[in-house]
Amino acid sequence: MSTQRRTRTILQLLAVLLALAATGTGTATAAATAQAAEQPLLHVNHSYGVLDRETADAIEHSAYLKDFANFQVRTTTGAGGEKWTGRYLMGRETYLELFGVGDVPGKDGDLGSAGLGVSVEHTGQLSTVVQRLHDAGITNPLEFLQTRDFGDGKPVPWFDGVFTTDQYDTFGAWGMEYRPEYFADPRSNTGPAQYPGDISRNRYLPDDYRNHQMRDVTGIRLGITARDLTNTLPLLRAGGMTVRELPTGATATDGMTTIRFETVAADQVGLRQIDLALNCPTGTKHVEQLGHSTLVVGPGAHARWTFNIRS
């Protein structure tokens, strides 16, 4: 393009922008652009899935996973004395929570059940998410307090949460805001605040990921029912995540982790795939079979874990 033509094009564009500003349209467009450029309030915190017993047991007793990730198996006591036993792979800002059938009470412990926790990074941001849900027509979001009992029978406030509804099939997503009381409890083993109001995922999770290959969860693929998808997307939108609806489901991303939802029949639901970022690239490919799942690590700085829980 010649210099004269380029200059003429720029002048024409400026004229259009000035005309839009004069009518107020330019102001609205600029505001929309600024809003779109904002960082999301909600970020992927963790995802869980209920696997068949053979796969869950293989994961629990895997020597490879103990080296690959900051891995632990623990039983947690939450609000009302509810207990669940999970297998945890913890990264820098995100983690995985994997259950076997029956490790979680009620229908949440059925094969194929799954969930997604998305959290804020600053104190007070969850109230903004809740207000956005009201503005979007979710008139009765379900707000709750989750506690954690470290074993002395004295529950500690853990996080405030919100669901869009208490009606679901096999999948639920909830917004989270960690409580200052939890960080203040030395048994939480959390890090110091890096800025005022710091309740970030990085502060919450331990730094032991540095001694292993796994760094973070960058992708999650799930099969869920159409009703559960309809209930989930308003929360992710209210949290500022980028949501794209597709004929087969939807995708959502916070800029680091992308979730792909595939709408399926109730008998086909479940965790299907996890993508992971590694701390350092590896020049070789390693394949680890874990029950009805396959973890492929490398080559490069990524890994992919696929699940076939209905084999």
Q: Flag whether 12 is in a domain.
A: no
Query: Residue 2 domain-assigned?
Result: no
Question: Is residue 25 one of the residues assigned to a domain?
Answer: no
Q: Give the distance from CA 166 to its chain's centroid.
A: 19
Q: What are phi and psi of 243, to 5 degrees?
A: -115, 135
Q: What contacts 31, CB < 8 A, 6 or more positions away?
A: none
1 falls within a domain: no
Q: Is residue 233 part of a domain?
A: yes
Residue 229, in any domain of the structure = yes
The answer as to whether 18 is a domain residue is no
Strand, coil or helix: what is 269?
coil
Of 109, 119, 255, 138, the C-alpha closest to 177 is 119
**Total number of domains in the chain:** 1
What residues contact residue 161 under an 8 Å CB cut-off, 6+ apart? 143, 144, 145, 146, 174, 175, 176, 177
Residues of the chain predicted below pLDDT 50: 1-37
Residue 73 in any domain: the answer is yes
- Report the pLDDT value the prediction gives residue 27, as an integer from 0 to 100: 41
Q: What is the pLDDT of residue 114?
A: 98
Contact 189, 131 (CB under 8 A): no
For residue 106, the enclosing domain spans 43-307
- SS3 readout for 197-241: CECCHHHHCCHHHHHCCEEEEEEEEEEECHHHHHHHHHHHHHCCC
pTM: 0.86
Q: How high is the pLDDT of residue 81?
A: 85
